[in-house]
Amino acid sequence: MGVVFTKTQKGHDEITSKAGGLTPRQRRVLIFIDGKRSVDDLRGMLQADDLQHTLGMLEEDGYIAVGSVVTAQGKVTAPAAPLPSVTAFGELPAAPDPLRMQQARNFMVNTLNTFVGSLGASSLIERITDAEGHSGLRALYDEWYHAMVMSREGKREAEALRGKLLQVI
């Protein structure tokens, strides 16, 4: 199954006015979104390691929305129900789960140490270590992801790592 995004009115306005302050990369992704290309099509055209993150930002800021879904058989349909955001965090348990919290914390710290280096990310690692609860870690998610895609090795693995972290955070 693949998702096809369409531009919202805000997205169309951004193309003509450039008033939203998008980076050239974000703007290029927005231009390629036409309501016909799936995320997989965009990935093949744009050769972007952080495409998922860019799409998530554009969706959260209201520039794009899910237009349709392509099934495994190639049939294009409207989604039966609203789909979650591409960067949506999972539901938190009713009671705090210290094991899941520690898994998320360890994952973030270990990936930063591995792909960025402890010196390059020391302040972020310290803030992750000191974060209070899942909400504290979620507040550091964007900074963690940015650090990952800015490193040469992390850029290659960023999408897979992002998916793994979203399962526990």
Please give the pLDDT value at position 74.
63
Give the span between the Cα atoms of 77 and 75, in whole angstroms: 6
Q: For 22-37, give the secondary structure using H, E and C.
A: CCHHHHHHHHHCCCCC
Residues of the chain with CATH 1.10.10: 2-77
Query: What pLDDT shows up at residue 123?
Result: 92
What are the residues whose beta carbons fall under 8 Å from the beta carbon of 163, sequence distance 6 or more? none
CATH of domain 2-77: 1.10.10
Indicate whether this model's pTM tops 0.75: no
Each residue's pLDDT tens digit in the chain (169 positions)? 577 888 999 999 998 888 888 888 888 899 999 988 888 888 888 766 678 778 888 888 889 888 877 666 666 666 555 544 555 677 777 778 888 889 999 999 999 999 888 888 889 999 999 998 888 888 888 888 888 878 888 777 877 788 888 888 8
Angle between helices 152-168 and 141-150 (to 10 degrees): 150
| pLDDT, position 56 | 80
